[in-house]
A and B are shown apart, each in its own frame.
Chain A
C-alpha cells in the first residue's frame, strides 16, 4: 500500500479549503452552516489519518479516534442548537440571508 499520510492530509486540507470558501462566498445561513460542518469533517479526517499512521505498540491509535468520536458528538449537539437558532431567526425576520440580519450593525 503506497498511500502515505500526505495523501490523506491533502484530502483533509482540500475539504477544509472548500468549507472555508463556502463560508466566505455564500450568504445563506444554512449553506454557511453546512460548510462549517464540512470544515469540522476535514479536521476529523486529518485526526483519524494521523492516529492511524502513528500507530505503535505503546500508542494503540485510540486517542485520536476517541477524540474524533467526541468531536462528532459535540458537532451533533451544535447542529441541533444552531438550526434551532436559525429557525427562530427566520420566524422573526422572514429571511436567512446574512446581509439582511445586520441588526448589530444598525445604530
Chain B
C-alpha cells in the first residue's frame, strides 16, 4: 500500500512539475506548481516529517504560490507576450535536461551511488512537532533568531523596493525642492 502511495505521489509530483516549464500560460504553470508542492508535502508525510508537510502546504502551496499568482495576474503577462523559444537554446536545454536525467538514472535507479541504509525501524522523533519546537528553541536558538531577523529585513526591503519607481521619486524630491525654493 505504501509502495503504491509512493509511486502515485512521485508520478504526480514529477509530471505536474514537468508541466511548469512546458505550459504556455504562466497561470497554468503556477497551478501545476501548486499540485507539485502538495505532492512533495505528501512525500514528506510518507517520510514521517508531518510538521514539514504542513509547513510545505502552508508556506509554499499557500503563501508563495498565492504571491506568484497575484503577481502574474497583476502584470497581465499572457496578453503581452507569446511563448517564443529560440531553437538553439531549446535544443541545448533539452540536452542538459537529458544529461541530468541520465545522471539520475545512473546514480539512483541503477544504484551506483553507493549502498544506502535501509529504512530504520522504530520510533521517529521528528514526526512529533513537540521535538521540533524543543530543538528549535534549544540547539538551534541562534539560527532561529537570525532567521526571524532575516524575515524582518526581507519585509523592510520589499516595502522599500516596491514603494515607487526611482524616476518618480526623483521628480517628487525635485518638486519638493522647488516648493522649498
Interface residues of A (CB under 8 A from B): 1-11, 13-22, 24-28, 30-31, 33-35, 37-38, 41, 44-45, 48-49, 51-56, 60-62, 65-66, 68-70, 72-81, 83-88, 90-92, 94-97
Contacts and interface: CB of A to CB of B under 8 A. Distances in A.
Given A9-B108, A48-B47, A62-B135, A83 B67 contact: yes
Contact of B14 (A11, A56, A70, A88): A11
Nearest to A25: B93
A77 B154 contact: yes
B84 interface: yes
Contact of A72 (B60, B72, B84, B100): B60
Contact of A5 (B20, B104, B116): B116
Nearest to A83: B71
Interface in B120-164: 120, 122, 124-126, 131-132, 135-136, 139-140, 143, 147, 150-151, 153-155, 157-158, 161-162
Interface of B: 2-3, 6, 10, 13-14, 17-18, 20-21, 26, 29-30, 33, 36-37, 40, 43-44, 47-49, 51-52, 55-56, 59-60, 63-64, 67-68, 71-72, 74-75, 77, 80-81, 84-85, 89-90, 92-94, 96-97, 100-101, 103-104, 107-109, 111, 113, 116-120, 122, 124-126, 131-132, 135-136, 139-140, 143, 147, 150-151, 153-155, 157-158, 161-162, 165
A66 B136 contact: yes
A4 B64 CA distance: 31
A83 B14 contact: no
B20 A14 contact: no
B108 A61 contact: no
A77 to B, nearest CB: 4
B154 A53 contact: no
* Consensus secondary structure, chain B interface: helix
B14 A18 contact: yes
Contacts of B136: 66, 69
Given A30-B77, A77-B154, A18 B10 contact: no
A76 B152 CA distance: 12
A96 to B, nearest CB: 6
B74 A28 contact: no
A96 B71 CA distance: 11
A21 B98 CA distance: 9
Given A8-B47, A52-B49, 7 more contacts: A24-B93, A30-B72, A61-B126, A65-B52, A66-B140, A77-B153, A88-B161
